[in-house]
Amino acid sequence: GPKVLQIPSHQIIDMGQMVTLNCDPVSNHLYFYWYKQILGQQMEFLVNFYNGKVMEKSKLFKDQFSVERPDGSYFTLKIQPTALEDSAVYFCASSSGTHAETLYFGSGTRLTVL
Amino acid sequence: QQKVQQSPESLSVPEGGMASLNCTSSDRNFQYFWWYRQHSGEGPKALMSIFSDGDKKEGRFTAHLNKASLHVSLHIRDSQPSDSALYFCAASDTSNTNKVVFGTGTRLQVLP
């Protein structure tokens, strides 16, 4: 099936540093998402992105967070500066269209902030 | 305030048994529903979608939607140990933001 690739699979950084999580979405998909999951529990919506713009973001998407997809390359989530509570697994997803389209997820990036 | 609640939080069934998972939304704008399954160390993977009232069957999996009561269920017959995973209900509304909200999750364990 369609594959979403996330790089790296694990990242350990010190609090206050910047981190960039990378996502290579399914090639013909147009909508991109980031979700946050703590301790294998609920998938929390962070943000979605279409046509170079953020469509909607949640309260979890703090001012320190940003997303972009320059020139059709990786869809990235940047956190600057990081905080201890940012430790989680971050999942990228993509879909081909609006509303009734299934999301395809990557395997996640486990972020540990020390 | 969680818009998509799932029950039970965890569930154990014997191999070959029936597993029933429930999902209730508090937002009447949700019109599109999915069930996703997440195995340990992986991302969620869609099992099936359901957009109309009634039943939808795919193999051993049957989803049921009742939009009036904002209730979605998933029934897994002849459960297998490989079905042991975290199951999420997900919902989307008809707004133009394409946001997909996931439920609180049900952890299913199928005992050999």
Largest CA distance in chain A: 40
| Residues in contact with B52: Cβ distance below 8 Å, sequence separation at least 6, in sequence order | B65
pLDDT at A99 (0 to 100): 67
B102 in contact with chain A, both atoms CB, cutoff 8 A:
yes
Which tens digit of pLDDT belongs to each residue from A24-74? 999 989 999 999 999 888 999 999 999 999 999 999 999 999 999 987 789
Q: pLDDT by residue (tens digit) across B41-74? A: 999 999 999 999 999 999 999 999 999 999 999 9
Q: How many CB atoms lie within 10 A of CB A77?
A: 26
Q: Which residue has the tokens 């529903």?
A: B33
Q: Per-residue pLDDT for A77 more than 70?
A: yes
CA-to-CA distance for B106 and B9, rounded, in angstroms?
5
Task: Read off the tokens for A2.
Answer: 């369609």
Q: Which of A35, A48, A106 sits opposite B98 (nearest CB)?
A: A48
Instruction: With beta carbons under 8 A apart, name residues in chain A contacting B32.
Output: 99-100
Model confidence at A14: pLDDT above 60 = yes
Q: Please give the pLDDT value at position A49.
A: 94
